[in-house]
A and B are shown apart, each in its own frame.
Chain A
Amino acid sequence: MTTLSTSADVSNTEPKLLPGDLAIWFFIFMELLVFAIAFLAYAIMRGQHVELFNQYQLTLNKESGAANTLLLITSSYFVIRAVHAIRNDKVKLCIRELYIALTLGTGFLILKSLEFYDKFAEGITLSTNTFYMFYLSLTMFHFFHVILGMIILSAVVIKAKQGKYSAKNHIGVETGASYWHMVDLVWIILFPLMYIIR
C-alpha cells in the first residue's frame, strides 16, 4: 500500500509531530479505548446469545448503515482537503471544504435519526433485548461524537472566516480534523460489527 502514500516529503528522516494540538490526541486515545472496550463487550455478549444477535441484526437497515459509512468517509476526505488548503494559505477553499464536510456530517445525522425513529416507532428501547441495548447505546454514543465533531468543525469554520488561520498558523484546523477522523475511524469498525458480521 506504499504507492498510496500521501507523505510526499520523505527526505526528512526526523519523525513529524502529531498534527494539531497534543491535548486532542490524549482525548482521542481515551475515546478509542472506551469504544474498544464497548466493541469487545458487544462481541462477548454476542458469543453468549448468538441466535438472538443474528436474528435481530437482520432488522437493521444495511443500506442506511452503508450510506452513513460513505457519508463519513467522504466527509473525512473533504476535511483532509481543507487541511491541505489552509497549508497553502487558501483560506476560502479551506472554508468551502469544511462546509461540504459539515453538510455530509448533517446527512449522517439525518439518516441515523431516521433509523432511530424507525426503531422507536416499533416500540424498541434499550431494554427490549441485549442486542438492541448494544445497538442503541453504541450507535447513540457514536452519534453524540458526530455532533461534537461537527461543533468543533463549525468552530474551526468561524475562526477561519475571522482570518485566524493561515499557512503559518493552522493548528486549530488540524486539531478539528484529527477529531473528525477519529469519529470516522470508530464508525469503520462499528458498521461491519453491528450491521454485517454474523
Chain B
Amino acid sequence: MNPILNKINNIHTIWLLMIALTLFTYVFGKLGYNGLFVTLILLLTAVIKGTLIIRDFMELRDVSFLWRAIMFGWIWTVALALAITFMISL
C-alpha cells in the first residue's frame, strides 16, 4: 500500500478510537457512575486520547526528548494532579 495512504488509514483508526473513547466517557457520565475508581478510569481515558493527539495529530512522536517530555509530561501531570486532588476530596 502507498505509505501515504497507510498513514491516512492509521489516522483514520486513531480518529475512530478517540470517538469510541469519547462515547465511553459519555456513557459513564450518563449512567451516573462515580467514585475514585471511575474517576481514575475517566482520567486514564482522557490521557489516552491526549496521548494520541500529541503523538499522532501534533506529530510529536519522533521529535527530540525535550519537546516530548513537555507535552506528554503535561497530560500526565495534569491527570495525576487531578487524580490526587479528587482522592483527597473523597
Give A residues with C-beta under 8 Å from B: 1, 4-8, 10, 12, 15-19, 25, 29, 32, 36, 39-40, 43-44, 46-48, 50, 62-63, 65-66, 69-70, 73-74, 76-77, 79-81, 83-84, 88, 177-178, 181-182, 184-185, 188-189, 191-193, 195-198
Are A192 and B67 in contact (CB-based, < 8 A)?
A: no
Within 8 Å CB of A7, what residues of B?
59, 61-62
Are A8 and B82 in contact (CB-based, < 8 A)?
A: no
Are A184 and B85 in contact (CB-based, < 8 A)?
A: no
Within 8 Å CB of B6, what residues of A?
8
Total inter-chain residue pairs, C-beta < 8 Å? 158
Within 8 Å CB of A50, what residues of B?
89
Min CB–CB distance B57 → chain A (angstroms)? 5
Please, how many angstroms separate the alpha-carbon atoms of A42 and B85 in the complex? 10
| Interface residue from A73, A83, A181 paired with B19 (Cβ < 8 Å) | A73
**Given A4-B13, A17-B63, A192-B43, A66 contacting B19 (CB threshold 8 A):** no
Are A88 and B4 in contact (CB-based, < 8 A)?
A: yes
Classify the secondary structure of B's interface with A.
Answer: helix
Are A4 and B3 in contact (CB-based, < 8 A)?
A: no
Which chain B residues numbered 12 to 43 have a C-beta less than 8 Å away from chain A? 12-15, 17-19, 22-23, 25-26, 28-30, 34, 38-39, 42-43
Are A36 and B74 in contact (CB-based, < 8 A)?
A: yes
| Interface residue from B7, B14, B39, B85 paired with A84 (Cβ < 8 Å) | B7
**Given A1-B51, A39-B78, A192 contacting B60 (CB threshold 8 A):** no
| Interface residue from B10, B14, B45, B89 paired with A46 (Cβ < 8 Å) | B89
Are B56 and A192 in contact (CB-based, < 8 A)?
A: no
B14 closest partner in A (C-beta): A4
Within 8 Å CB of A191, what residues of B?
22, 25
| Interface residue from B12, B25, B50, B89 paired with A185 (Cβ < 8 Å) | B50
Please, how many angstroms separate the alpha-carbon atoms of A80 and B52 in the complex? 12
Report the 6 A-B pairs with minimum CB-CB distance, sorted nearest first: A47-B89, A196-B29, A43-B85, A66-B26, A15-B64, A77-B15
